Amino acid sequence: MDCRRDEDFGYEHLDIWKKAVASANAIYGVTSKFPREEVFGLTNQMRRASVSVAANIAEGTSRFSRKDQARFFEIAYGSLNEIATMLEISETQGYISAEQKQNLRSEILVMCRMVSGLRRSALATA
C-alpha cells in the first residue's frame, strides 16, 4: 500500500471529517472547564469518544473492503451516541449549560446522519 504522495489525505476533504475534528475541539474546550475530579471520568471519556469519531472516519476511508469501511463508520456512529449521552450527564451535573448541550447535540445529530449515509453508501457497493 502506498501512502498518498500529495500533501493531504482523502478523508481531509470530507465534510463529516472536518465536522468531527471541529466537534472534538469543541469538546476539549467544554471539558477543560469540568471539575478536576472529572479528569479521569467524563472529561477523559468525552475527549476519547470525540477523537474516536474523526479517527474512525479517517480509518474507515482507508479500508479497501466496503464491509470494513462500514464497520469503522459504525464505530464512529456509536461514539457520537456516547457523546450525546455524556452531554446529558454533564448538564445534569451542572458542568455545562442547557444551551451548550443543545448546541453540541445539534452538531452530533447532523454528524450522525452524515456517518449513517457513509455507512449506507459503503454497504450499498459492498
Position 4 confidence tier, pLDDT thresholds 50, 70, 90: low
Give me the pLDDT at residue 7, please: 76
Domain residue extents for the chain = 11-124
Q: What is the CATH number of domain 11-124?
A: 1.20.1440.60
The per-residue pLDDT for range 7-44, each reduced to its tens digit, is: 789 899 999 999 999 999 999 999 999 999 999 999 99
Position 6 confidence tier, pLDDT thresholds 50, 70, 90: low
The span from the CA of 39 to the CA of 112, in Å, is 27
The span from the CA of 57 to the CA of 60, in Å, is 5
The span from the CA of 124 to the CA of 116, in Å, is 12
User: Is the distance from CB of 80 to CB of 112 less than 8 angstroms?
Assistant: yes
Q: Is the pTM of this model over 0.75?
A: yes
> In Å, how far from its chain's centre is CA 89?
18
> In Å, how far from its chain's centre is CA 63?
18
Give me the pLDDT at residue 112, please: 98
